Chains A and B, each alone.
Chain A
Amino acid sequence: MSKRHLAVLAAALVTTASLAACGDSGGSAGEAAKTLTYWASNQGASIEFDKQTLQPELDKFEKQTGIKVSLEVVPWSDLLNRLLAAATSGKGPDVVNIGNTWSASLQATGAFVPFDDATLAAVGGKDRFVPAALAAAGAPGKPPTAVPLYSLAYALYYNKKMFADAGITNPPATWEELVEVGKKLTKGDQWGLAIEGANPSENSHHAFTFGQQWGGEWFDSSGRPTFDTPQNVAAVKRYIDLMAADKIVNPSNAEYAQNQSVADFANRKAAMLLWQAAGNNFKAQGMSPDEWGVAPVPFPATTPPGGKRINSMVAGINIAIFKHTKNRDGALQFVKFMTSDEEQIILNKTYGSLPSVTTAGADPAFQAPEQKVLREVLTTTAAPLPQVPNESQFETLVGAAMKELFADAASGKPITEALVREKLSVAQQKMGS
């Protein structure tokens, strides 16, 4: 063969190889029946911690069913984007964890298996799940596209020793009290409260709770955004003012987005923290459980007109199945396994969250003071975030507007009602386009 022939052959080879690479490289159906890919959200103190927590359970599942589950723990900052990419491409994992606030948004994509009655029956039936948690798994009146896995609520965590040193006997029950004790606790390098000011999700969760207490709604009944109502402006301003006006929050918190506020609390730099099931996280950072106390998130001393007695969103993690899975039965078996009493107790105990199934809640593992407070809040004074398809835009846009407000507050710019309204109006306009 001449050199030229060789060159032509080589060119042809490269071409076909590159074309073949564009093709589908998926495995055969038989192979798919024995494997599942699972994206877990980051629930513990680190990704590594989660891998070590989940792997033994996945091994157990493989022993029971012969289905091998390959696990990836996805950080929260990437999870929504990864889910969107998987929904768009129709490729990716079989089973995923989703933040329950995204339920309606992700439901609208149509990329997930709907849990109609028959499908729910395959994982133990509708009545198995805690009603409040199941209500946060999709828009009302439609079959949910996920089932609850871990349940959470916000609570007020406080440092017992700092409280005792300052002569404070009870955790604050109203925002006025919180500001008052916060001022007593703010001295030197120590601050009254730690806030995750640059994290849009955290910000928006507080925007929701404060909004409820101040009589605001973020969406009207037809699902249209109502961000810049006077009630919402007052609610957001109240939250930002903890830093801007009351000065009980370190201005540095305006750039916190990687759970530095939890670290600040655990490292005794701040006396209070509003968080979901933070106990295990404190422990991982070397703070012993008897150092901190837990109480429900405060209310305003006098309820503003239209205000509701809500002090947390129904927080939690749901588990969902992608429609594109080649192993639907295996995926359903896996969801059933993860929501079984045994796994619910093991996993929720490790993460400090609450079981999402009614039959596991009575376990002694969930009778600690923290879990008691969380359950009390969840069953009496928690409400789900608006279950509308635009919800995740609300989180990102309002959360980002509040990040800007914190940045302004940190640099000493006065936070006026007009400024708050302006930021919320801009966020609302972006929803419309």
Chain B
Amino acid sequence: MATTTAPGPVRPTGPPAVPAAAGRRARRRKSRRLLLPYLLLVPALVLELGVHIVPMLVGVWMSLLELTQFHIRDWSTAPFTGLENYRVTLDLDSATGKDLVHSFWVTVVYTVASVGLSWVLGLAAAVFLQRPFRGRALLRTLFLTPYALPVYTAVITWSFLFQRDTGLVNHVLAQLGLVDEPPFWLIGGNSFWSLLVVSVWRSWPFAFLCIMAGLQNVPADLYEAAAMDGAGFWRRLGSVTLPLLRPVNQVLLLVLFLWTFNDFTTPYVLFGGAAPREADLISIHIYESSFVTWNFGLGSAMSVLLLLFLLVVTAVYLLVTNRRRAYA
């Protein structure tokens, strides 16, 4: 950590008989120097507390209350129910518990598929755009467009494309003679795939951007040396590119995982609030459990469980990847 080595690198090295006044000045300067980093951190800490930590703690508190429409105006009147909301959530025989588990697995599959595909697409595009050629800048810009578009507008446009009767997707499929009966994309089983396509479309440019930046740090002579040793494309990718991208990938995959797992806007806009069962992501499920049924305590309990799950996954991930790096 930088902070442990920062203070006091320039110890006064004068003769031992320093006048008392000068010693005090030096001490004061030293204590100020010790204090400064913390002072500089204060604004960030205050904002972090205000934006993240306090709302999170409020959420935990809410999860212990029976916070329904009768009490939302004045929370102090909400009865304290302890872990009752958690009991309801985790009661796997009840409709609520079953639905949550279903939604959890949908989200896991969705996240793994979306992050995997985004990463592969991002890596492929970044590797192919590594060497200069005509039109490279144009392609780079083009690839980043989905990332630059406002989410809401982009997803609304997708929802138009996916309409059964008037959507472009079915129009193209029909023109190509691939389908006889136009399929539904926004309801039923296909809705999962629609959601996945939109999600990958949205997040792969970020993977592309990060990997592209990471590739700038791979020295070109490594590739030259590998090529001289007779390494082909796949060998160079496996033995040079990927190992050197490890730090980038470690952060990238984690961030993509967290974003995708928590993604609310995409399903909410795509399905207009009530997601089909096949695409019932956990974030939207929690939203429905709290806003739709006006049971904010229950929704908070689910959110806290989600937070714990993500914390555990993140911790395990960091532990495993860091250990591997230490061994490497």
Contacts and interface: CB of A to CB of B under 8 A. Distances in A.
Interface of A: 4, 7-8, 11-12, 14-15, 18-19, 22, 77, 81, 84, 87-88, 90, 105-106, 108-111, 198, 200, 250-252, 254-255, 257-258, 389, 392-393, 396-397, 399-400, 403-404, 406-408, 410-411, 425-426, 429-431, 433
A88 B73 contact: yes
23 contacts: A4-B32, A7-B39, A11-B42, A18-B46, A77-B273, A84-B69, A88-B73, A90-B73, A105-B294, A108-B70, A252-B163, A255-B163, A255-B186, A389-B70, A397-B293, A400-B274, A403-B187, A404-B277, A407-B184, A407-B276, A425-B95, A426-B99, A433-B94
B213 interface: no
B72 interface: yes
B111 interface: no
A11 B73 contact: no
Nearest to B274: A400
A411 B164 CA distance: 12
Nearest to A250: B165
Interface string B42-61: 11001100100000000000
Given A18-B43, A407-B187, A433-B94, A87 B72 contact: yes
B73 A87 contact: yes
Contacts of A430: 95-96, 99, 293
B291 A81 contact: yes
B39 to A, nearest CB: 5
Given A198-B186, A255-B164, A396-B288, 15 more contacts: A7-B36, A7-B40, A15-B42, A87-B72, A87-B73, A110-B70, A110-B73, A111-B72, A198-B187, A198-B272, A389-B69, A393-B293, A397-B293, A410-B187, A433-B295
A281 to B, nearest CB: 19
Contacts of B95: 425-426, 429-430, 433
B188 A84 contact: no
Contacts of B72: 84, 87-88, 109, 111
Contact of B272 (A77, A251, A397): A77
B292 interface: yes
B298 interface: yes
B27 to A, nearest CB: 16
Given A410-B187, A410-B188, A111 B73 contact: yes
Interface in B67-81: 69-70, 72-74
A11 B188 contact: no
B184 A411 contact: yes
Contacts of B184: 251, 254-255, 407, 410-411
B144 interface: no
B198 interface: no
Contacts of A254: 184, 187
Contacts of B293: 393, 396-397, 430-431, 433
B88 interface: yes
**For this complex, into which size category does the number of interface residues on chain B fall?**
35 or more
Contacts of B187: 198, 254-255, 403, 406-407, 410-411
Nearest to A407: B187
A4 B298 CA distance: 50
A15 to B, nearest CB: 5
A404 B279 CA distance: 12
Contacts of A11: 39-40, 42-43
Contacts of A389: 69-70
Contacts of B292: 393, 396-397, 400
Interface of B: 32, 36, 39-40, 42-43, 46-47, 50, 69-70, 72-74, 88, 94-96, 99, 163-165, 184, 186-189, 272-274, 276-277, 288, 291-295, 298
A196 B251 CA distance: 45
A56 to B, nearest CB: 31
Closest 8 CB pairs of A and B: A429-B95, A407-B187, A14-B43, A396-B292, A252-B165, A252-B164, A11-B39, A400-B274
A112 B293 CA distance: 20
A290 B316 CA distance: 69
A400 B271 CA distance: 12
Nearest to A8: B39
Given A14-B43, A15-B46, A393-B293, A200 B274 contact: yes
A24 to B, nearest CB: 15
Contact of A109 (B40, B47, B70): B70
Contacts of B288: 396
B298 A257 contact: no
Contacts of A431: 293
Given A84-B72, A255-B164, A430-B96, A404 B276 contact: yes
A104 to B, nearest CB: 10
A429 to B, nearest CB: 4
Nearest to B272: A257
Nearest to B164: A252
B298 A433 contact: yes
Contacts of B165: 250, 252
B274 A403 contact: yes
A258 B272 contact: yes
Contacts of A19: 46
B302 to A, nearest CB: 11
A429 B94 contact: yes
B69 A108 contact: yes
B168 to A, nearest CB: 15
A257 to B, nearest CB: 5
A111 B69 CA distance: 10
Contacts of A110: 70, 73-74
Contacts of B47: 18
A23 to B, nearest CB: 12
Nearest to B186: A255
B188 A15 contact: no
Nearest to A392: B294
Nearest to A324: B73
Contacts of A426: 95, 99
Contact of B294 (A393, A403, A410, A429): A393
